Structure 1
Amino acid sequence: MESAPVVVVGAGPSGLVFGLCLAKFRIPCIILEKERDIADDPRGVYLAGDALRVLWKLGLGDQMPSIGHDLDTIYFHPSSFKSPPFLTIPIAHDWMGHTIPGGILQSQPKLERALRDFVQKSPFCTLRTSCEVVDREENDDHMIITYLDLENNTKKQIKTEWLIGADGKRGVVRKRFLEPKAGIKQEDGIYRYDGTWVAANLHITLPTPDTHPDLSLWKLGLTPQQVYDLFWPQGWHFCSPPDKATACGRFGPLEDRLWRHEFAEPEWNDAMNAEELLWEHLTPMITRSEDSSGRNFGSKITYPRDCIEVLRCRPFHFTHKVVNKWFDNQTILIGDAAHVFPPFGGQGIACGIRDAESLAWRIAILAGINKPTPSKTLSNKLLSLWAEERRLGVEISMKQTMMNGKLCNGTAGWFFLTITPMLISLFTSSKFYHLQSPMAWGDISGYQSAKDGFYLKQYAGGKKLAQVYGVAELKADGFSKSPTQRKMILSDHIIHYVPTALTLLVCDQVTPQENSKLNRLLEDVQLHPLILSKQSVIHFNSKYVYRKGSLSNSDKFVSISWSPIPSELTMGSVLRPGYNPKTFQNRLGGERSKYVIIRQDSIVFSIAKDLQQLQSCLDMLKGYVTA
C-alpha cells in the first residue's frame, strides 16, 4: 500500500499553500483533488496583504503581475460608484509594515495555476486530480484513506498519519468523516450573517470610433481607454444604494479588463432572473451625463452593452460560520472547510492561507520528531494552541468584514465616519511615517489577545513581525557575499532561510565569547534540530554598514548577517508610501531586544534582552514541544 506522512484533500489555495509550506521541511504530502481541471469561473477576487506575504515567501512574488493587480484604493460611495466617495482608504500606503502590496485584486484560477506549477516542481508534493476521497479508516497510529480515481474508475488507498481537510464548506472530510464521529460542524461566528447576493463576472471590451461611431464621447476627444476608465473606474468600490449593498471593481491583470459586480438581494427567490436583476442594478451605474471632472456631455450616455460580456451571473447564499472544533485526533480542517465569510471583506482566501502556513510548521514538527508514531499528547497540545490562534484570526477578519458591511449599508455611525478620514489624513502624511498607524494595530498585535497560543506573553510574544528590504551576507553559498553584488532581499526571505521551524534572531553585534555562550545554550537545551538549532541563528544589524568584500575577521563566527537598507539606498526600487526601514526593529522593541525567537509564520515567540532571559525562553519553548 502506498504511504505518505500527510494527505491533503482539496487543491484550492489553502491546500496548495499548505503543501508548499510543508515542503520546506522536506515532509512529503499527497494532495487529492476531485476535479480534473481548475474552475475557470473566478470566485474570490481579493488577496489581503498578509496572505500575500505567505505567497511571497513561497516564491510567487514575481508571478503576481500575471495573477492580478495591486489594489491602491478602496472607495465607499453613498449610492453608486459614479458618485463621489464619502470615505477613501489608500491601501497603497504601507500601513502594515509589509513592504509588499497591501492587497491584490486577483484571478483565482490564475493563482491556482501558479500554485499548482510550484507544487508540481516540488519533490515533496504530489498533486493528483480526478481523485475523489470516499473513506477514512482510523487506527491507533495511522489512517487509511480510500479514494476513487475518476479517470479509470478504480479505488486506491494511502496510509497516512495526518489528514488535512481543505476541501471547502461541503467537503467530505468534515461532512462525512468529522461531523458524524466527532460532532464537528460549522456554527455562527461572532457576528451572525445570512444573506443572498447576486454575483457577476464581466468581461469588458473597448468601444472604438470604428465599432461605435455614434458614441458622442469621441467628439469630446476621449480615447477608448479613457472611456473605459471613466465608466469602469480603478480601485475597489463599496456602494450603499437602499437595500442593495454593492461591492464591485476590476480584478485580475488590468489588461484582462474583468469586473466583479456583487449586490445584495434580500428578497431573492428562485423565480427571479439573476441576469435581469444585474442589468437593472448595473445600468444606472454605467450611465453618465458628465465625466469625473464635471464636464457635461449634453445627454445621458450608457456604456455600450455589446461591449459587456457576462461570464457568470447567479445568486450566492452567504453566511459567516466557523467550526466548533478545528481537529479531531490527526484530522484537521483549514480554509472554507473550517470557516466561511460574507463577500464584503475579501477574507475567505486570505484566512485559508493563514490557516495553512500556521499549521504547516506544526505538522512538520509532529511528523518530523515523532517518528515512527506521533505523540497524541504533543499533537493535541500543538493543535489546540493553533486552533486558539486561528479562532482569534477568524474573529479579527470577521470584525473587518462587518465594518465594511456597516459602511456598505450606511450603518457605520457618525463617530467612525468623522474620525476615520482624520486618522487616514494624519498617518498618510510623510511627517508621521515614523508613527505606528492605528490602521495596523490589529495586524501588529498578531495573536497576543488569544486565550492561549504558541508564544510567551511575558516575553512580548504573539506579535507580528514587520518586513523591510534588507541585504544579507553569508559565508556559504546561498546569498551573495557583498551587498554590491546582489539585489535587495525582503527580510522574510532572510529570516525564514533557516531549515528549522523557528529562527533565532540575534540583534546587533555580539562578541565571540557571547556567541560561544549562545551555542552552548542551544546545545544544552537539547531541542530537536527540526525545531531550533545553531542553524537557526541569524544576526541582525540595525544599522546599515556598507562593506565591500567578504566578512570581517570579527564576524567569522556569523553564518548569516543582515541589515535593513535605508530608503535612499534601495537601488531604484519603488517604495510604497509610508515605507520605513526602522519598522522592523521598532516592532521588536528597539535596542532593548537582543534575542528574538520567530516562528515560520512571522509571529514572534519571545523577545529576550540577554542570554539569561533567552535561557528561560528556551526552557519554556522545550515545554511547548515536549509530550
Structure 2
Amino acid sequence: MPDPDVESVPVIVVGAGPTGVTVATLLADYGISCLVLDRWEGVYPQPRAVHLDDEINRIVARLGVAEEFAAISRPALGLQLLDQNLRVLAQFDRDVTESRHGFPQANMFDQPEFEALLRANLEKRSCVHIRGNAEVTDITQHPGRVRLTFTDRLTGEDHIIDTTYVLGCDGANSVVRSSIGATMDDLRFEQRWLVADGITAAELNQWDGVHQVCNPVRAATYMRIGPARYRWEFRLLPGETADDYNTLETLRGLIAPWVNDIPNDELELVRVAEYTFRAQIANRWRDRNVFLLGDAAHLTPPFIGQGMGAGIRDAMNLAWKLAGVLSGDFPASLLDSYEQERKLHARIMIGLALGMGWAMTAGGRAGNLLRRAIAPRLHLIPGIRDRLVNSKTPALRSSALVIKGRGPRQLAGTLCPNPILADGSRLDSELGDRFALITTARPPAFQHELLEERGAVVHIAEPGSELARWLRRGRATAAIVRPDRTVMCAGRELSALCAVAPHFVPRSPADQETP
C-alpha cells in the first residue's frame, strides 16, 4: 500500500541531459507531472555532442524551440573523406535546405548551449520540477509503484518518493540500469580518442562540412560547429593520453593542417578530453515500471553523429505511450512496444557508426590503398551517396503499434513527411500530439466522427501534394500516423484503418498539479 506520508509523483526522470529533459517536456505537454533528478546543479558545462539530424530537429520543434535552436545552430554542408596526407578522396555535398522533415539534414551546435535552451523551455511547464544535486541511492519496485530514494549532495539529507514510473536517462554509468539488473552487451568496439574544442575569430578558410581523415594510424575528424567554434577528434596512439595535448603548444601539431599560421594568441582552447568510444546495448531496457533511455540503454560511437539523437528518439517513442497508459487510454502491455521498436533501430544505427569507424581506421597500408582506389568512385555506386549524406533512418520493426502488411515499399514503421500545407504551416502543427488519419480519399461522415471520438485528427491530402505522392509511393491511399509521426499502418481499405486507430485523448496540463 502507498504510504500517505511519502511524497508521490506519476513519473520520475533520472538524468537532466537532452534525453531526460526531452521526455519530461513531452510528458508535461500531455499533462503528466514529473520530477526530474540530476546529480549536477545545472547544465553540464563541457561540450560533448555537436550534431543532430533533421528527424531530431523535428522533435526539437515539437518541444516548442524550433526558432531558438535555429539561432544557435548551423547546417552542415556534407562530408569529405581524406587520406592520411589530407588529400580529398571523395566529397559528398548535402543540401542544406529544408528536408522532408522540414529542417536541414545535419545541424551543428554547442551542447551546453542546447541543453540550456531545453531546460529553460522545460521550466515553463508548471507540472515539472527539476531538482539538481540529487544522487539516486535506491530504487525498489512494488506492485504498481516504485519507491525511489535520493540524497541531497549539498546537505546529505535523504528523500523518499513514490512514483508510478521511473525513466532512467542517467547515462553510460546508469544507476537505474544497475537497479534493474540490466547489463550492457558489448558489440566489440573500443577506441581511445582525443576530443578538442576551440574558438577563434580568425577565418580558417576550410571547407565547412565534416572532414573525416581515413588513417589507420591517426584517424581524425574536423568540424566547424558555429561561427567561431570548432571541434577536432583524433585517435590516440598506445601510451598517449589527453594530458599530452592539454595546451595549444602541444596540440598544435595535430590541428596545424586546419589552423595554418593563425597565432596561438588568436586561438582559445575550450577543453581537451579523452574519450573511450564504445559500442554497447543493454540486454533489456525495462523491468516492470522502470525504463532505460539514451546512453543508459545504448552507446553509439560518434562517427555518424547519432548518439544523442538515439536518446531523443527513445524519449519521443516512449512519452506518448506512457501518457496513454496513465490516462487509461492504453493497456500497460502497450509499453512492451518501446523496447521492441527502439532496440533493433538503435542496434542498426550502432552498426552504421561502426561501419564508418572501421572505414576510417581499418586495414593498415592495404586499407589505405583500397580507400584511395574506391573512395573517389563511391558516388557512382547506387545508394552509397544517400547512405553517407541522407539522414533517413530504418523503419521500426512490427509491434502492437506498427502493423505491417506484405510486400515491399511499406509505410508502416517509417516516419511521415512534414510538408508545408496550403496555409503555410507545417503538417506537424495541424496534427498536434494525437493520432492522425492522412488520406487522399475523404472518409464518410460516420468514419470521421469515429476518429474524432477517438481523439484522432483527419487530414485530407490534396491531389499532387507531397503527402499524396508519399502515400502513392507506399502503395496506399491512407495511413494512420502515431503521435511520434511513425506510421502505425497504411493501405487502401479506409474502414480497416479506421478500425485500428486507438482511442487517445490524454489529459491536458491544466488537469495536473505541480509535484
TM-score tier by shorter-chain length is 0.7 to 0.9
Q: Secondary structure at the match of 1:135?
A: strand
The answer to whether structure 1 residue 205 and structure 2 residue 201 are counterparts is: yes
Which residue, 449, 470, 473 being the options, matches 1:519? 449
Indicate if the aligned counterparts of 2:439 and 2:477 stay in contact, CA closer than 8 A. yes
Indicate if the aligned counterparts of 2:144 and 2:289 stay in contact, CA closer than 8 A. no
Indicate if the aligned counterparts of 1:166 and 1:334 stay in contact, CA closer than 8 A. yes
Whole-angstrom distance in 2 between the partners of 1:419 and 1:588: 34
Aligned residue number for residue 443 of structure 1? 392
Indicate if the aligned counterparts of 1:34 and 1:131 stay in contact, CA closer than 8 A. yes
After TM superposition, the structure 1 = structure 2 runs for residues 81-96 of structure 1, keeping only pairs within 5 Å, are 83-92=86-95
> How big is each residue's C-alpha offset from its partner over 1:450-503, in whole Å with a ceiling of 9 and x where there is no partner?
3646211117421221221113xxxxxxxxxxx3xxxx22212222x25x3x22
Please state how far the C-alpha of 1:347 moved relative to its aligned partner.
1.1
Aligned letter for 2:476? Answer: S
Which residue, 241, 262, 267 being the options, matches 2:233? 262
Aligned letter for 1:469? Answer: I
> How big is each residue's C-alpha offset from its partner over 1:490-517, in whole Å with a ceiling of 9 and x where there is no partner?
212222x25x3x222343434xxx1224
Q: Secondary structure at the match of 2:334?
A: helix
Indicate if the aligned counterparts of 2:421 and 2:427 stay in contact, CA closer than 8 A. yes
Q: Secondary structure at the match of 2:135?
A: strand
Please state how far the C-alpha of 1:343 moved relative to its aligned partner.
2.5
Whole-angstrom distance in 1 between the partners of 2:447 and 2:197: 61
The answer to whether structure 1 residue 493 and structure 2 residue 410 are counterparts is: no
Please state how far the C-alpha of 1:37 moved relative to its aligned partner.
1.9
Whole-angstrom distance in 1 between the partners of 2:104 and 2:49: 18
Compared with structure 1, are the counterparts of its residues 5 and 240 closer, same or farther at alpha carbon in structure 2 (3 Å cutoff)?
same
Greater CA deviation, 270-279 or 109-118? 270-279
Q: Secondary structure at the match of 2:57?
A: helix
Indicate if the aligned counterparts of 1:201 and 1:259 stay in contact, CA closer than 8 A. yes
After TM superposition, the structure 1 = structure 2 runs for residues 325-474 of structure 1, keeping only pairs within 5 Å, are 325-369=284-328, 378-379=331-332, 381-409=333-361, 417=375, 420-422=378-380, 443=392, 445-447=394-396, 450=397, 452=399, 454-458=401-405, 460=410, 461-471=412-422
Aligned letter for 2:418? Answer: Q
Whole-angstrom distance in 2 between the partners of 1:309 and 1:34: 29
Aligned letter for 1:403? Answer: G
Please state how far the C-alpha of 1:338 moved relative to its aligned partner.
0.8
Aligned residue number for residue 593 of structure 1? 476
Please state how far the C-alpha of 1:317 moved relative to its aligned partner.
1.3
Aligned residue number for residue 214 of structure 1? none
Please state how far the C-alpha of 1:178 moved relative to its aligned partner.
1.9
> How big is each residue's C-alpha offset from its partner over 1:549-600, in whole Å with a ceiling of 9 and x where there is no partner?
xxxxxxxxxxxxxxx5xxxxxxxxxxxxxxxxx2x33332359634421112
Please state how far the C-alpha of 1:535 moved relative to its aligned partner.
3.4
Compared with structure 1, are the counterparts of its residues 33 and 537 closer, same or farther at alpha carbon in structure 2 (3 Å cutoff)?
same
Compared with structure 1, are the counterparts of its residues 453 and 169 closer, same or farther at alpha carbon in structure 2 (3 Å cutoff)?
farther
Q: Secondary structure at the match of 1:170?
A: coil
> How big is each residue's C-alpha offset from its partner over 1:362-391, in whole Å with a ceiling of 9 and x where there is no partner?
111121117xxxx9xx43x43332212211
Compared with structure 1, are the counterparts of its residues 229 and 585 closer, same or farther at alpha carbon in structure 2 (3 Å cutoff)?
farther
Compared with structure 1, are the counterparts of its residues 601 and 308 closer, same or farther at alpha carbon in structure 2 (3 Å cutoff)?
same
Please state how far the C-alpha of 1:442 moved relative to its aligned partner.
8.1
After TM superposition, the structure 1 = structure 2 runs for residues 220-259 of structure 1, keeping only pairs within 5 Å, are 228-230=203-205, 232-251=206-225, 253-254=226-227, 257-259=228-230
Q: Secondary structure at the match of 1:589?
A: helix
Q: Secondary structure at the match of 2:402?
A: coil
Whole-angstrom distance in 2 between the partners of 1:492 and 1:268: 51
Aligned residue number for residue 572 of structure 1? none
Aligned letter for 2:472? Answer: G
Compared with structure 1, are the counterparts of its residues 403 and 592 closer, same or farther at alpha carbon in structure 2 (3 Å cutoff)?
closer
Which residue, 412, 435, 440 being the options, matches 1:507? 440
Compared with structure 1, are the counterparts of its residues 418 and 250 closer, same or farther at alpha carbon in structure 2 (3 Å cutoff)?
closer
Compared with structure 1, are the counterparts of its residues 101 and 284 closer, same or farther at alpha carbon in structure 2 (3 Å cutoff)?
closer
Please state how far the C-alpha of 1:518 moved relative to its aligned partner.
4.0
Compared with structure 1, are the counterparts of its residues 271 and 585 closer, same or farther at alpha carbon in structure 2 (3 Å cutoff)?
closer
Aligned residue number for residue 280 of structure 1? 253
Aligned letter for 2:328? Answer: I
Whole-angstrom distance in 2 between the partners of 1:418 and 1:283: 25
After TM superposition, the structure 1 = structure 2 runs for residues 298-337 of structure 1, keeping only pairs within 5 Å, are 302-337=261-296
> How big is each residue's C-alpha offset from its partner over 1:204-238, in whole Å with a ceiling of 9 and x where there is no partner?
133xxxxxxxxxxxxxxxxxxxxx132x5422111
Q: Secondary structure at the match of 1:318?
A: strand
Please state how far the C-alpha of 1:167 moved relative to its aligned partner.
0.6
Whole-angstrom distance in 1 between the partners of 2:383 and 2:319: 39
Indicate if the aligned counterparts of 1:165 and 1:337 stay in contact, CA closer than 8 A. yes
Query: RMSD of the alignment, in Å?
Result: 2.9
Compared with structure 1, are the counterparts of its residues 238 and 76 closer, same or farther at alpha carbon in structure 2 (3 Å cutoff)?
same
The answer to whether structure 1 residue 541 and structure 2 residue 474 are counterparts is: no
Which residue, 6, 12, 16 being the options, matches 1:7? 12
Indicate if the aligned counterparts of 1:508 and 1:539 stay in contact, CA closer than 8 A. no
Please state how far the C-alpha of 1:106 moved relative to its aligned partner.
0.8
Count of residues in Structure 1 that have an aligned counterpart in Structure 2:
486
Aligned residue number for residue 573 of structure 1? none
Structure having the higher Rg: 1
> How big is each residue's C-alpha offset from its partner over 1:32-85, in whole Å with a ceiling of 9 and x where there is no partner?
1110021221111111221111101222110123332111222111136xx452
> How big is each residue's C-alpha offset from its partner over 1:306-352, in whole Å with a ceiling of 9 and x where there is no partner?
21221111221111111000111111000111111223221111000
Compared with structure 1, are the counterparts of its residues 517 and 358 closer, same or farther at alpha carbon in structure 2 (3 Å cutoff)?
closer
Indicate if the aligned counterparts of 1:163 and 1:332 stay in contact, CA closer than 8 A. yes
TM-score w.r.t. the length of structure 2 is 0.86
Whole-angstrom distance in 2 between the partners of 1:129 and 1:271: 29
Q: Secondary structure at the match of 1:360?
A: helix
Compared with structure 1, are the counterparts of its residues 445 and 416 closer, same or farther at alpha carbon in structure 2 (3 Å cutoff)?
farther
5+ residue gaps, structure 2: 1-5, 504-515
Overall identity of the aligned pairs, in %:
23
Whole-angstrom distance in 1 between the partners of 2:128 and 2:306: 26
Compared with structure 1, are the counterparts of its residues 399 and 518 closer, same or farther at alpha carbon in structure 2 (3 Å cutoff)?
same
Compared with structure 1, are the counterparts of its residues 246 and 351 closer, same or farther at alpha carbon in structure 2 (3 Å cutoff)?
same
Aligned letter for 1:586? Answer: R
Whole-angstrom distance in 1 between the partners of 2:345 and 2:449: 35
Compared with structure 1, are the counterparts of its residues 78 and 453 closer, same or farther at alpha carbon in structure 2 (3 Å cutoff)?
farther
5+ residue gaps, structure 1: 207-227, 288-301, 428-436, 472-482, 523-531, 545-563, 565-581, 623-627
Aligned residue number for residue 64 of structure 2? 59
Indicate if the aligned counterparts of 1:386 and 1:454 stay in contact, CA closer than 8 A. no
